[in-house]
Amino acid sequence: MWKFDLNDIMEMQPTFDRLIEKNAVLKAARPLPKMALNKIRENLTVEWTYNSNSIEGNTLTLNETHLILQEGITIKGKSLREHFEAHNHEKAIDYLYEIVNDNYKLRSIDILSLHALVLRSIEDDFAGRLRNGGVRIVGANFVPPNANKISSLLDELIDFVNENPLKLNDIILATIFHHKFVWIHPFFDGNGRTVRLAMNLLLMRKGFPPAIILKNDRKKYYEALNQANNGSYHKLALLMAQALERSLNIYLQALPCDEEDEYKEISSLVEEPRVPYGQEYISLLARQGKIDAYKEGRNWLTTRKAIEDYMKNRKRERII
């Protein structure tokens, strides 16, 4: 059985509780209006495709990815491979939505199928096939295991996340799966795109929306994976939680809400007289996952209620 030292992420329990509560609110609100649901899913598919491909070096912009996927336009000056990567990732997302349900159990055939879709018409000789040779990863602080061990290690990991013997919450479970999959590195190419798809099967089967790692967090993402190789999961779990909270908020914003719950850029909130903190301090709280916040581009958004809740909790802690 896989073993982990998870003490360094126990302090994140309030963040996990907040996300689980938001997911419960989202579940209770279902079914959402079909038009709103379709539009959110369409936009998230474009964002997911753009960000995941960009992390791996694809140079298509978000708007170019939208034009390719939604308008069927070919972008001048961009390679055929980059166009395939966009279309392939969209097809892989469609497959993911087709197979996931409340009773879903992760299967190796689904991982192989996702990988086959990701590399279709790009690396057909390797698409959907486990590697049969050694690899080295530039910039990583580990060497992936011998190819002869890949199949058994992948099966062990799949059994672990399906059985969840440590009774981990779904966010931690997806975080561990993400890291261990990257460590196993089961394919010659396409591991990153595939794991960022497969980990969402674990979240979406529990009713969560997909967690999308942003291109702007690429450096932080690789640093988090390297820290996980050394046994510290805090940075990766925080990044996963922030990605998930962003998607949850996108769905929840489709519901009616009070002005207190409206997400605004921190720079505009600090101008309000009821907010006693500066922009730098609130941004730090957002980055640390200590308040309800999410990132759009390079800007953090939060709500007046999130700041007031933090103020109340600090006051309560001082009294205790």
Token pair 């967090």 is found at 217
Query: Domain check: are 275 and 236 in the same one?
Result: no
User: Does the annotation count 87 as an active-site position?
Assistant: no
- Whole-angstrom distance, CA of residue 272 vs CA of residue 284: 18
What are the strands of the beta sheet with 264-265, ordered from one edge? 264-265, 299-302, 293-296
pLDDT along the chain (320 residues), means of 10: 75 93 92 87 97 97 97 96 98 97 96 98 95 83 90 97 95 97 96 98 97 96 94 95 95 78 83 79 88 85 86 69
Question: Residue 290 domain-assigned?
Answer: yes
Query: Domain check: are 247 and 137 in the same one?
Result: yes
Contact 248, 208 (CB under 8 A): yes
Query: Domain check: are 37 and 145 in the same one?
Result: yes
Which residue range forms the structural domain that includes residue 268? 259-319
Question: Residue 66 domain-assigned?
Answer: yes
Query: Domain check: are 163 and 47 in the same one?
Result: yes
- Whole-angstrom distance, CA of residue 100 vs CA of residue 202: 9
Q: Look up residue 80 and give its two tokens.
A: 């055929």
Query: Domain check: are 166 and 123 in the same one?
Result: yes
Query: Domain check: are 287 and 242 in the same one?
Result: no
Boundary of a domain, candidates 208, 232, 252: 252
Res 225: pLDDT: 95
Question: Residue 1 domain-assigned?
Answer: no
Query: Domain check: are 132 and 248 in the same one?
Result: yes
Boundary of a domain, candidates 252, 284, 302: 252
Question: Residue 231 domain-assigned?
Answer: yes
- Whole-angstrom distance, CA of residue 115 vs CA of residue 39: 26
H-assigned helices in 104-146 = 108-118
Output the pTM of the full model: 0.89
Boundary of a domain, candidates 209, 225, 252: 252
Beta bridge partners of 293: 302
- CATH number reported for the structural domain that contains residue 121 in this entry: 1.10.3290.10
Query: Domain check: are 157 and 239 in the same one?
Result: yes
Question: Residue 219 domain-assigned?
Answer: yes
Res 316: pLDDT: 66
Strands of the chain (E only): list them.
264-265, 293-296, 299-302
Bridge-based pairing of strands 264-265 and 293-296 is unpaired
DSSP string, 175-231: HHHHHHHHHH--SSS-HHHHHHHHHHHHHHTTTPPPP---GGGHHHHHHHHHHHHTT
Res 319: pLDDT: 59
First to last CA, the chain: 41
Q: Between the CA of residue 190 and those of 66, 97, 185, 256, 314, what are the distances in Å?
A: 22, 20, 9, 40, 45
Query: Domain check: are 235 and 281 in the same one?
Result: no
Query: Domain check: are 236 and 306 in the same one?
Result: no
Question: Residue 18 domain-assigned?
Answer: yes
41 contact partners, CB below 8 Å, separation of at least 6: 97
**Structural domains counted in the chain:** 2
Question: Residue 58 domain-assigned?
Answer: yes
Query: Domain check: are 129 and 270 in the same one?
Result: no
- Active-site residue identified among 83, 115, 185, 234: 185
Question: Residue 2 domain-assigned?
Answer: no
Query: Domain check: are 162 and 209 in the same one?
Result: yes
Contact 127, 119 (CB under 8 A): yes
